[in-house]
Structure 1
Amino acid sequence: MTDQTELARLIRADSAERGQPVSKLGYFCAPFRPTSGPLADKVIKVYRGLSDVAALERLHQCHDDYVQAMYASGVGLPETEFFLLDIEGSRIPVIVQEALPADSMMRPLMMSRPLDETLVMMAAAGEVIATFWHWAQGVETRIGFHPSIRNFAYVDGRAVFFDTFPPLIHYSRDEMGKMLLTYSDKRLMRWVGPFLQKKVTGIQDEWYSPPETLVGLVGSACRLRPDDAEAYLAWGRDFAERRMQPWLQEALDGMQEPPRLPGYWTGFRKILGLQGEPNV
């Protein structure tokens, strides 16, 4: 069990003591890994605090439920804990997660390894996607999954999913749309977003659609390595026929050509300076 006193001290400490951020990506936070001490084997993710106590308590419960869902589905996660810490008069959501090897992040591996090795990684990630969605067919509450390449590590021949925020369980579509703004680490997103709430809300739709999560994975691979796009499309079609039968036609329809991100989302990424790095 994580020592919450030590955790709060680390969060208050200056950056040199906390350790360097392990990702530049800032959709919701900049995770860091302590350089020493009892939490040196953990990645710490600190999110924006809220004055709404009920909303924070619900977030805590939903996150706990989502972690349990990941384990129940057979997807699994690195050991993951959620805390609401009292820091400087605010209650701050904090996630503490077992650190994965720095050289296991799937995105840089996909960019640097030979094509045949990347297809093996895609197959491992695809198995995680199929496993989750076949399990989720029996779940009554609204539940989603965001298995992008940047949210996977590749360890000992298997894909390890590690992204649990926001927890894609229980929240309605409109509630999740508002969360994407509430917890954004980018002030500009929180300022501009409400004027574009409908489009911001639509960002999540892929995460709640089994075929679109597979299409999204393939699209990411095609954008990372455009010269190998046909190989990734062929893999995706074959995988859909073998493992995504309930959603086959929609998946195939999305992989007739290299999938593209919606124009409004690529625009948001440019405005906010978001990079496709691991969201650890």
Structure 2
Amino acid sequence: MSDLTSMIRAALAAGGTASTERRHFGAPMRPTSGPLANHDLTVYRGGRDPEVQELLARRHDAYVDCLRLAGIRVPETHLRLIDEAGSLRPVIAQKAVAPDMMLVPLVRKAGTKAAIGLLDRVATDVAEFWRRVAQRPERIGFHAQIERFAMDEKGPLFLDTFPPLISYSRDEMGHLIQRFADNGLVRGLGKVLPGRLREMQDRWYTPAGSVQTLIDGALRLRPDDTEEILEWADGFATTRLEGPWRNAVQAQLARHARSAKVSANRWRTVAGRDRPHA
């Protein structure tokens, strides 16, 4: 894509359709005309810290390469630093995915068996990613949030490349979260309790954390299918995950199962009280 930076500048100046999706980082918009009309542009917090942002740009390229080498399909995605009178602003241009291809509406609309089939395909890619990066020397993560996946005829697509979870230490990533978070509360928390921002990322950097993040998202989307999702997840962990990963996921699944049982018992108790002839 020739002179992408100029295209991004022109698209931002012309404006477009802003997304209502809430994110920790960045404000997405889609140009309505021009060469980037079939792309989503996500604009991140700018600042006068070129050393931070230039490193960010290099590591973003490295992370996209890492994802693809590890079998994760990512749409055409590029990060550019836009100079605004000496202040740099990161902008990601990513080839747009049709709304009806996003995993969330697909999982919501599908029957139980089909929804679990979709989850299984994504979870398989997530687990395979961790196997392929296991021998790499860098600190690498994968934030497998269900909202950031799509599905086409070839299989899952992953859309979330920011922040780039490669080569940053735990402390460095904590600073990066604080630097680029759009939520002022998150930035304030980082100043008062920086340890909380370090903890926030821990799930991103373990195989079990990535798989569990996906499972948690599915449980939020389909609470009526909790039992079926937990049964699938336990089977997936048993047959498709290695020992330490399997144990960590199954421990979390057991907590989910206990919570679901307590909620069901509480509802039966309340319902019984409300029945006049119980």
TM-score by length of 2: 0.87
Q: Deviations over 1:67-115 (max 9, x none)?
A: 1101110112001111111124311111111111111111122223221
What does residue 164 of structure 1 align with? 161
Q: Which runs of 4+ in 1 moved over 6 A?
A: none
Q: Is 1:8 paired with 2:9?
A: yes
Which stretch of structure 1 is more off in the superposition, 34-43 or 162-171? 34-43
| Larger radius of gyration between Structure 1 and Structure 2 | 2
Q: What is the CA RMSD across the aligned residues, in angstroms? A: 1.7
Query: 1:35-74 residue pairs with structure 2 within 5 A?
Result: 35-74=32-71
How many residue pairs match? The answer is 256
Give the match for residue 86 of structure 1: 83
Report the Cα distance in structure 2 between the residues aligned to 1:183 and 1:163, rounded to whole angstroms: 15
C-alpha spacing 1:181/1:139, structure 2 compared with 1 (3 Å): same
Q: Deviations over 1:239-262 (max 9, x none)?
A: 1122212422222112114289xx
Do the aligned partners of residues 131 and 101 (structure 1) sit closer, same or farther apart at CA in structure 2, a change above 3 Å counting?
A: same
Aligned ranges 1:235-246 → 2 under 5 Å: 235-246=232-243
Which segments of 5 or more consecutive residues in structure 2 lack a partner in the other structure? 259-278
The C-alpha deviation readout for 1:93-150, integer Å capped at 9, x for no partner, is: 1111111111111112222322112111101111111110010111111000011111
Matched AA of 1:252? Q
Judged with a 3 Å threshold, the aligned counterparts in structure 2 of structure 1 residues 79 and 177 are, in CA distance, closer, same or farther, namely same
Structure 2 distance, partners of 1:52, 1:171, is: 17
Structure 1 counterpart of 2:202, one-letter code: D
Q: Given residue 248 of structure 2, which amino acid in structure 1 is its aligned partner?
A: E
Please list, as runs of the form range in 1=range in 2, the aligned pairs for 1:80-119 lying within 5 A after superposition. 80-119=77-116
Deviation at 1:181, TM superposition (A): 1.1
The Cα offsets for residues 179-206 of structure 1, whole Å up to 9 and x where unpaired, read as: 1111011233323431122112211100
Q: 1:33 maps to what in 2?
A: 30
Q: Which residue of the partner structure matches residue 174 of structure 1? A: 171
Contact 2:17/2:29, CA 8 A, preserved across alignment: yes
Partner residue in 2 for 1:275: none
* Contact map agreement 1:105 1:154 (CA 8 A) in 2: yes
Q: TM-score scaled by structure 1?
A: 0.86
Q: Give 3-state SS (helix, strand or coil) of 1:26's partner.
A: coil
Structure-2 separation of matches of 1:141 and 1:259: 35
**Aligned: 1:139 with 2:136:** yes
Pair 1:191–1:253, CA change in 2 (3 A): closer
SS at the partner of 1:94? Answer: strand
Which structure has more relative contact order (CA 8 Å, sep 6+)? It is 1
What is the alpha-carbon distance in structure 1 between the residues aligned to residue 86 and residue 50 of structure 2? 13
Contact in 1 for aligned 2:17/2:31 (Cα 8 Å): yes
Query: Residues of 1 paired with 2:109 and 2:73: CA distance?
Result: 26
